[in-house]
Amino acid sequence: PSGAFTRGFRGEDPDATHLNQFYHVECELQGDMDNAIHIAEGYMAHLTNSMLKKHSDIILNTAGTLTHVTDMLSKLNEKTPLPRVTLDQAIPMMPSADCLEWVQDGQPQFGRKLTRKGERVLIEKYGGAVWLTEMDHLGVPFYQAYVEGTGRCKAKAADLLLGLGETVGLGERHSTPEMVQEALRHHAVPEESYKWYINMRQVIPLLTSGWGMGTERYLCWLLQHDDIRDIHIIPRMKNHSCL
């Protein structure tokens, strides 16, 4: 696998769970979604174990407990992976309408997604961490593969929910140029912008998957903090001067 620790830039406004500039760990590797989940869980176990060994005093002083850390390590060190639930399985579990929203307001054809409240419902139900899988395809980036047997409805994608909500975003990719082109048309994305990506799949059709972990969101879970805007070392929020 290849990996990188990098910074992301987005145009959205910051709030308690979003930063418009943030750090994240990215990994791209050969294999399917299950393999990527296995690698991501192994990384989470290694990172969390290291944090507990080196910084348990800081975690305890800030969070007031280490139970969430030791519980997570117990789950990650077991032979069975973390629980998984599809979006269609999750929807009937939601206790109120504000747990769900349309991917695009007033346009049901783009599908549904969970709100942060809905993600927290799942986190609590599954004891602190759960993979949400098979989201509506128009609610994820075009490059995620389609789930076989669903037409073009569902994506081979998974979000690891813990702490504030989605902390790891993961997905299997289209393996051939034809699949990429079909997805671009489905998402109404101009093919011209992704000729390099199509060409890459033409040179070597390859089954790959990838994931990214939001560093500040992980730290919010680790420190049991509920506002990501307090976590970044150097504030870089829209419309705020930081020097």
Going by the DSSP 8-state scheme, the letter that residue 64 receives in this structure is: S
Q: Return the pLDDT at 104.
A: 87
Average pLDDT over residues 174-183: 95
Are 139 and 91 within 8 A, CB to CB?
A: no
Answer whether residue 115 shows pLDDT above 60. yes
Which two structure tokens, joined as six digits, stand for 38?
């296995």
CA torsion 68-70-76-82 (nearest 10°) is -30
Q: Which amino acid would we find at residue 146?
A: Y
Residue 6 above 90 pLDDT? no
pLDDT in tens, 141-160: 999 999 999 888 999 999 99
Which domains are delineated in the chain?
2-230 (3.30.930.10)
- Residue 149 is encoded by which pair of tokens? 């047997």
Predicted local confidence at residue 4, as pLDDT: 64
Residue 113 is classified by DSSP as E
List of E strands, 10-102: 21-30, 84-86, 100-102
Beta bridge partners of 18: 15
Distance CA 144, CA 173 (A): 5
Q: What is the pLDDT of residues 30-63, one digit of tens each?
A: 999 999 999 999 999 999 999 999 999 999 999 9
Q: What percent of the chain has pLDDT over 90?
A: 77
Mean pLDDT of the chain: 92
